[in-house]
Chains A and B, each alone.
Chain A
Amino acid sequence: MTATELALRTDGVGKRYRKGWALRDCTLALPAGGVIALVGPNGAGKTTLLRLVVGLLAPSTGTVQVLGHDVTASTPQTLSRIGFLAQDHPLYKRFTVAEMLRFGRACNLRFDQGLAERRLAKLGIPLDRRAGTLSGGQQAQVALALALAKRPDLLVLDEPVASLDPLARHEFLQVLMGAVAEGGVTVLFSSHVVHELERVCDHLVVLNHGRVTLTGDIDTLLAEHRLLVGPRTATDLDRAGTVVEAVHSDRHTTLLVRDGGIPAAPGWQARPVALEDLVLAYLRRPSEPSAAVTSGVAA
């Protein structure tokens, strides 16, 4: 794959705050098109990584390239290709919805006002209401409409549904996926909730303790990993360094392996692994500098 087909490329990116490193050695190459989920527990460095991607922060080490351009240059051209929805979807609370749209028009090169108005009309959000008086779900929708009206090539969302109730969450994802289906936009969003990701996402990045522990195409990852269940054993089972996690119960040992599906040893049963279990297994692994496991983008 050439660099221009990558939505995001980071090379050895680290970000250090006064209290320490929030992100270290982050090297990613994420393909354009589709939906990328950034998963990790609270404090894993997800927000830091996303802020680096949209150019709100500058990396302490390494480089960040979005759509083939260095984001720290922040030219209007680069900025207008990236849409960002920050955590808690901030809006100017005293602006009316119409004024929020005017803000978008005033501050962007290509702003599709009609598109935003149509989206909001469909959701029944009145343009003359002050943004601060809308419900949380409606504020998120206004912020999303604003970000989509930029017609970005990359849309970055930080925990977009974390603060929403289940109904608003569903509606929000529906609108987001509708926009993806219309085509053209790559979506990168962070979440600490793993379930439902399988349905929505194509690509996965797992972040833990400021490091990338797993990244790859979801279908490929699921095909590469499987669970092996066999009699309890304490011997070293890591034949070729493929064991991600071993769990022992009274009588059985369950191994999560990444072996690409070679035949199981006699007495062992192979089972596919669910995405949530896969992610959790990687999150449970102790953090070590060289723990990053990469499934090639082209894989």
Chain B
Amino acid sequence: MTWLIWRQHRTEICVLGLLVGMFGIALVVLGTQAHDLFPGGPARCAGEAGVNETCAASFRRLDEEYGYVENLLAVFYLVPVVIGAFLGAPLLARELEDGTWQLAWTQAVPRMRWLAAKLAALAGVTATLTGMFTAVLTWFRQPFDVWEGRFQYDAFDLEGLVPVAYALFAFGVATAAGAILRRSLPAFGVAFGAFLAARMSVALLARPAYATPLTAMEPVAVGGSKGQAGHRPGSGNASWLIEHGYADATGRRLSWTEYYELEAVANRAGTNLNQFLHARGIQQFKVYHPADRFWTFQLIEAALFVAVAAVLIAVVLWRVRRRMI
């Protein structure tokens, strides 16, 4: 079976391996240069951006010289679906398209053993390739993460456990769609669509609700100019800000309209806005997930996608077992 699986899927595995290798090497080359901006490693500059001059300079150069690369990383949102769907779609669909399922399942290997071997091998390749790429990408993003935290979409979705879970999800959708539609290309399309829909709805709607966000309240500081670093309430910018705004002395949250009215009153009176707000006991509030929830959130999201993948694979196993194919 090992030889057969390799022979049947070596083209996909080689193409994907080549792509992962090429992008991986590019990231290692660029990442080494970016890491070199931080003598002693980027981790030493954690939380030092506004304090330590050397670190501030390093971050400035990082943004100037490699900021464009960081923006390009958005392309890699699609890496898991490309890997997972590319390996999953033909698993059954190609056999059904070409009629070779009748050849494969009338040899002496029982169909369930055939299917289990294929699923294990190709899911393994999916997880390995995605895992390797994610490891490189996580390393590449280290200096950026030290600066911006790991909770933003361009970090959280590309690092840690979730990319592998996304890839397994895409693999499951593509395999199941291939079993039902009996065509590789439509199965690939379905996996792509399902991936985008699931990823977007989970990231935007489900993820903020994995835990109850914390709320921080702080009076408006008198001296500080608006938005200055270190004057935001709560922890640093490594946390995930869900919502922020102003509240009155009793803690009632002000709508932005109410806030702009206050601002207009302050302008008309010609007073400093912060002093004006401070005098009225206006507070700044912030609803956020602290940075140390990163791994909890990663685990929850990974478990979610892997669970859906497992259900889809179970459907495939059930269909093949019941000889519905």
B33 within 8 A of A: no
The answer to whether residues A107 and B108 also contact, given A57-B323, A58-B323 and a CB cut-off of 8 A, is yes
Q: How many residues from A make CB contacts under 8 Å with B?
A: 35
Interface string of B174-209 (1 = CB under 8 A from A): 000000000000000000000000000000000000
B164 CB to closest chain A CB (Å) equals 30
Q: Which of A87-95, A118-126, A159-167, A263-271 contacts B (4 or more CB under 8 A)?
A: A87-95
Cβ of A207 < 8 Å from any Cβ of B?
no
Q: Are A56 and B98 touching (Cβ within 8 A)?
A: no
**Residue contact B107 to A79, C-beta cutoff 8 Å:** yes
The reply to whether the CB of B51 lies closer than 8 angstroms to some CB of chain A is no
| In-complex Cβ contact of A103 among B4, B99, B110 (8 A) | B4
Residue on A with the closest CB to B100? A90
- B111 CB to nearest A CB, Å: 7
| Residues on the B chain within 8 Å of A102, using CB | 3
| Residue interface bits A32-68, CB-to-B below 8 A is 1, else 0 | 0000000000000000000100111110000000000
Q: Which residue of B lies closest to A47 (CB)?
A: B102
A282 to B107, CA, bound (A): 36
Q: Which residues of A contact B322 (CB under 8 A)?
A: 58
Q: A74-B110, A102-B3 are in contact. Are A92 and B100 (CB under 8 A)?
A: yes
Interface centre among B101, B102, B108 (most CB of A within 10 A): B108
| A79, B112: Cα distance in complex, Å | 13
A14 within 8 Å of B (CB atoms): no
Q: Is B128 an interface residue (CB 8 A)?
A: no
Chain B contacts for A135, CB-based, 8 A: none
Determine if B228 is an interface residue (Cβ-Cβ < 8 Å): no
| A54 with B107: CB separation less than 8 A | no
Name A107's contact: one of B98, B102, B107, B323 (CB within 8 Å). B107
Asked whether any CB of chain B lies closer than 8 Å to the CB of A179, the reply is: no
Which A residues lie within 8 Å of B101 (CB)?
56
Map CB proximity to B onto A70-83 as digits: 1 under 8 Å, 0 otherwise. 00101111011011
Does the CB pair A76–B106 fall under 8 Å? Answer: no
Contact partner of B109 among A76, A87, A92, A150, CB < 8 A?
Answer: A76
Give chain A residues whose Cβ lies under 8 Å from the Cβ of B102.
51, 56, 84, 86, 90
* Contact A91 to B107, CB < 8 A, known contacts A57-B323, A103-B4, A106-B3: no
In the bound complex, how far is the Cα of B164 from the Cα of A263, in angstroms? Answer: 82
Contact present for B99 and A107 (CB under 8 Å):
no
The answer to whether B99 and A79 have CB atoms under 8 Å apart is: no
Contact in complex: B103, A55 (CB < 8 Å): no
A91 and B111 in contact, given A57-B323, A58-B323 (Cβ under 8 angstroms): no
A-side contacts of B295, CB under 8 Å? none
The 6 closest A-B pairs by CB, nearest first: A107-B107, A90-B99, A86-B102, A80-B108, A84-B106, A58-B323
24 pairs, CB–CB < 8 Å, chain A vs chain B: A54-B106, A55-B105, A56-B101, A56-B105, A72-B323, A79-B106, A79-B110, A80-B108, A84-B102, A86-B102, A86-B106, A88-B99, A90-B103, A91-B100, A91-B103, A92-B8, A93-B98, A103-B7, A106-B4, A107-B104, A107-B108, A109-B108, A143-B103, A150-B107
Which residues in B have some Cβ–Cβ distance to A below 8 Å?
1, 3-4, 7-8, 98-111, 322-323
